[in-house]
């Protein structure tokens, strides 16, 4: 048992990621530039934040099917002259930030934890637990893919 205590944890957990997110000290704004020419924002000033957060924060939505198409869209838009992208959802905290994180992982080759750390320097985000779990799956997939490519 003592050998396990000294061994470094191999995989991140949702709880690990939530600790990174909890370290963010920024206030939530209507819109923020979170990466050069990539913005995350909300649709409009929220009047009932609790009700709107429930809409934005579904714990059962399979957002991962949109990771690659959204990342492709952002990448293509940024390649155009003067390209800028606004990624938004109702609160600008969960869905939009999850899609930007997926882009950073897929096209900028950032590990999930590093991508989270970069975004929380620019915006108060908080992807829900389901979205964090989906991002962890993507992170694991991309890590395995990278290792396989290095072996070949």
Residue numbers annotated as active site:
89
Specify the 3-state DSSP secondary structure of 42: strand
> Is residue 52 a contact partner of residue 91, using CB atoms and an 8 Å limit?
yes
> Is residue 123 a contact partner of residue 32, using CB atoms and an 8 Å limit?
yes
Q: In which order are the strands placed within the sheet that holds 38-42? A: 31-35, 38-42, 85-89
Give the CA distances from residue 112 to residues 17, 54, 86, in Å, rounded to whole numbers and listed in that order.
9, 24, 21
> Is residue 122 a contact partner of residue 32, using CB atoms and an 8 Å limit?
yes
| DSSP, res 121 | T
């Amino acid at each position: 048992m003592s050998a396990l205590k000294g061994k470094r944890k191999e995989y991140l957990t949702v709880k690990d990621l939530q600790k990174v997110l909890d370290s963010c000290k920024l206030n939530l704004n209507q819109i923020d530039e979170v990466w050069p020419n990539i913005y995350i924002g909300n649709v409009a000033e929220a009047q009932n934040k609790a009700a709107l957060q429930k809409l934005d924060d579904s714990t059962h939505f399979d957002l991962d099917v949109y990771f690659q198409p959204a990342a492709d869209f952002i990448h293509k838009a940024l390649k155009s002259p003067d390209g800028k992208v606004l990624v938004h959802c109702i609160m600008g905290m969960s869905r939009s930030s999850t899609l930007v994180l997926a882009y950073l992982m897929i096209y900028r080759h950032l590990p999930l934890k590093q991508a989270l750390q970069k975004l929380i320097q620019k915006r108060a985000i908080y992807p829900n637990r389901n979205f964090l779990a989906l991002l962890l799956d993507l992170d694991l997939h991309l890590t395995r893919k990278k290792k396989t490519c290095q072996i070949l």
